[in-house]
Each structure stands twice: as C-alpha cells, then as structure tokens.
Amino acid sequence: MADTLFSLEGKVAVVTGASRGIGQWIAIAIARAGADLCVTARSEVSLAETRAEIEKLGRRCVTGAQDVTDIKSIDETLERFKASFGAIDILVNNAGYEQVSPSLEVDEEIWDAIIGTNLKGAFFWSQAAARQMAKQPEGGSIVNLCSLTSYVGIPTAVPYGSSKSGLLGMTRALSAEWAPLGIRVNAVAPGYFRTAMTEGFYQDEGWASRMLDKIPQKRFGDAADIGGVVVFLAGKASAYVTGQCIPVDGGFLASI
C-alpha cells in the first residue's frame, strides 16, 4: 500500500524553474517516485544537468526554454510537452525571482519582474494545465512554491512577500474552484534552504548564525527535505488534500 500511495509511476509532471536549486531537487524527487518530467527554465542549456540526472533514474525528460512571464509561450510550451507525452498529470510552479531592496527604493521594473514571475506566471501556468487536466479521468495535481513570506513580513522583501502571499491566496481559491474538476491545488512554503538564489545571505556568517538560532531543528533545509513533501502532494497519498500549504521550515513558523 505504501509503495502505491507514494508512487508516481505512469505520471507526467511539469516543473518550472527546474535548472537549479529547489526546482531541480523537486524534479529529481518526482523522477525518483516514477514520473516522467517536462522541465523549464529561461535557458535550455541550463537544464542539461537536470535532464541528465532524471535520465540516470531511467525516466524520460523533455526540456523547454520558457519565460513564465510570457503568457503566449506557456501555451506553446505546454502543447509541445503534450505532444511528447500525451497528458500532463502534475504541475509544480517553482519558477521564482527575488531582488532585495528597501521598499522606498522599489520601482515599477522590480515590482513587475517579481510579481510577474512569482504570481502571474504561476497563475497562467496553472490555468493552461488545468484546461488539460479537466479533460482527464483522474484530473491532476498542482503544487505551488510559496514561502515563509506568505505568512510573515520580511523587511526589504515587500514585492517578493506580496507575490508569495498572493500565491497562497491563489492556491486556496483555485483549490475550491477546481475541486469539482478533479484538480487538487496545494502548496509548500520552504524555509531557509541554501540555493544559488540565496547563496549571498549564507556567506554572511552572522546572518546564518542568527537564522539557525530561530530554527528549532538547528539546521537549514536540503534537497531531501523538500522533494518528499512535493511527491506527497502530487500523488495518491494526498488524494483528499487540497487548498493547503505545508511549511517545510524546520519548525520556524511554529516557534514564532
């Protein structure tokens, strides 16, 4: 029973922003669970490592260069993925962008880049995928990458926090609207994970020490911590779960 519940054998998943960091870890975890993958990033070349790791696991992988803020290209990319696999069962909206800036210095360009990538892109990818999932007997599962900033205010991260708070609200609203279509919509909220996007923070030893003091488990997250939660939300084990966001944060939110 356990193997069946947590198996994604025979499924096809799309993971956006899968060239590195959390997106790459999630794509590989989904492949380990048995699914074939369609992965996107802004550059096709940047996806080579992810594709190689997935194919080492004996799974098929199709890559696509795609900017999630380009709505027209979302439909085009999805059609190409469908041509390769015939159906899309799982969508993970991972593509994200952040630019730390004092709020008084945020301009329209920064705001649009962050909101466009993190919220607008996730909505239109979800919409495109849902149109296909609604036609499938088993529907589908969408997992959004929220953030601790979906719950708490972080100075100098107002556009990012706004996008991730909006993503949490979107997750809940879409889950209620699309449940009758057989589509589940959930989210995970990663805590402090050391990735290429966040590396600058971790190089500050004082900052890293202060953050560890706030995390009950006294460590930062790694690849194994995030992948399993997404696999759970993507598959049969969470068949009666929708509209939820699971913090993956070592107890950070529970302790504040």
13: left (phi over 0), alpha (psi -120 to 50) or beta: beta
CA atoms within a 13 Å half-sphere pointing along the CA-CB vector of 149: 18
pLDDT tops 60 at residue 80: yes
Query: How confident is the model at residue 201, as a pLDDT?
Result: 82
**Mean pLDDT value of segment 25-47:** 97
Nearest to 9 by CA among 80, 62, 48, 57: 57
pLDDT tops 80 at residue 161: yes
| Nearest-angstrom CA–CA distance, 38 and 50 | 11
Q: What percent of the chain has pLDDT over 70?
A: 99
pLDDT tier for residue 2 given thresholds of 50, 70 and 90: low
pLDDT tops 80 at residue 239: yes
Active site residues: 160
Digit-coded pLDDT (tens) for 109-145: 999 999 999 999 999 999 999 999 999 999 999 999 9
pLDDT tops 70 at residue 1: no
Name the pTM for this structure: 0.96
pLDDT tops 90 at residue 219: yes
pLDDT tier for residue 184 given thresholds of 50, 70 and 90: very high
The domains found in the chain, sorted by start residue, are 2-251 (3.40.50.720)
Cβ atoms 59, 35 nearer than 8 A: yes
Query: How confident is the model at residue 18, as a pLDDT?
Result: 97
Average pLDDT in the chain: 95
Q: What six digits make up the tokens of 182?
A: 């057989």
Query: How confident is the model at residue 3, as a pLDDT?
Result: 67
**Mean pLDDT value of segment 56-63:** 98
Candidate from 23-37, 65-79, 197-211 with smallest mean pLDDT: 197-211
pLDDT tops 50 at residue 26: yes
